[in-house]
Structure 1
Amino acid sequence: MTSSGECLAVVVDPGPRRTRVRVCGEIDMDDAVEVREDLTAALDASRNGLDIDLAGVTFCDSSGLHVLLDLNEQAREAGKTLVLSALSPTVVRLLHITGTRGVLTVQDQLASNSPAPDEGRGGCGSPNRPGAPAGFRMRVRRYGPTVYLAPAGELDLDTRSALDGIQVDLDGVDVVACDMKRLTFLDVVGLHGLLNLTRRLAERGIAFFAYNWQPQPRRLLDLIDGLHPPAGRDSPTRLLRRLQDFAAAARTAGAAKARPNVPRRTAPPPH
């Protein structure tokens, strides 16, 4: 089955001495900066260094390789170590053809006999795969019990299936926060996908918050609520507006709390 859309996930699991990081998806020029930020923050916060699992990386170009090499040097200068605990065939081939395998520490040489991948970009959202539409990316980061989602591009009929994989690795998660700043377009199919995601999360007791809605997706939410007035107090898109509603309630409560402190005008005493 061809996967629609591109997905990059970075899961950080801090430990008392070392921090484990799992990276899945594609690491290219577009994602390398953010991957560098995530790994650098994890390295800085760790006591002895990082153990990085790259078994789920489906594509990695020179940008991703430079991130690993630079991070390895930063770890050495800080008196820490960076260990690659698992490699995908894609990463194995990259280290082999660039001659950088001896520079990085690979735990027990786990991938020494791994086969080289086929030419081209394989895996989730590969542009070279027939029928894999471009224009949508999903970035996933996990820090302990909190998962951060950052969809970018257009979420529609062609890319809606990219939401299905987000259910993976949610054990122990309490909150999923979704930054909609880069979601430029949303159609009804994509909206239903988001609503189904929030319902599945709610069934598992996981809170979902979406924020930074852009004009077009926000107009669609308003349109759906207008076409389907709620029978009770809840609108059809309520689960996608929880953070917005919370912020509005907080502003209202803050204004109400401030009113008693406003000095009232009193008539001057009679002379």
Structure 2
Amino acid sequence: MKTLYAHRGMSSLAPENTLSAFKLCVDHQVHWFECDIDILHDGTIVVSHDSTLDRCTDRSGSLFELKRQALDSIDAGSWFSDEFIGERIPTLDQLIDLMNQYRLNANIEIKSCDSNADAARDLLSGLDKALERLDSQVEYIISSFNPMLLAEFKKIRPQARVACLFETHTLNDDWHVIMQWVGAEFIHPQNQGLTREQVQMFKAHGYKVNVWTVNAKDRANQLFNWGVDGIFTDVAQRFPKGRRMVGKGGAK
């Protein structure tokens, strides 16, 4: 089974990491999406890729300095198009509700949480608590570029399936040691520079391989022919329906 993950939701059709971007997965029959989580000053966990507001909202400044009530006045959609004026930064609780409602599966990426260590611990414990509300029929993968956070989360929630993210320049000879240390089942390497030999090496070690971020259909086809299990893409709607509809249980 080969799986498409809608990167930050249907991020070419709606503002990334918003409820609208995730809901569009239903319309396009994409069963898996990817999103990012971080934490606010008051402990509220939100869906956001950046640690600042500047790129994807009508505000600037640090995400961590916010409290929950501030989210009601921050526009996370008008930068994308008029259709999404008033779109909000979602909370993790809202994300879980959406996953349960639409039976959508998610790869949830834990951001490195550059505010402080206590906030990082709160992020992990809050994620664990939120996942308790997830319907048993809904699947998830927890990923991060920070293996320390992943290893700690695996201790908190041993049943979680976790994935180590690697950029091309961080994929060193010790990659398998990091994977073993974390207890990861998935490796998520960067698309740029990834070779068939590397994919074969990952598979020979028994890992599932999901590659980010792949927007060209011919490259995706090549990767799948090499044995890759899934790809993250910004343009899931452009792929053949047969590819998009795969994914219910496809990450297992």
Q: TM-score under structure 2 normalisation? A: 0.31
Question: What TM-score, normalized by structure 1, do the two folds share?
Answer: 0.30
Which structure is richer in relative contact order (CA contacts within 8 A, separation 6 or more)?
2
Q: Over alpha carbons, which structure has the higher Rg?
A: 1
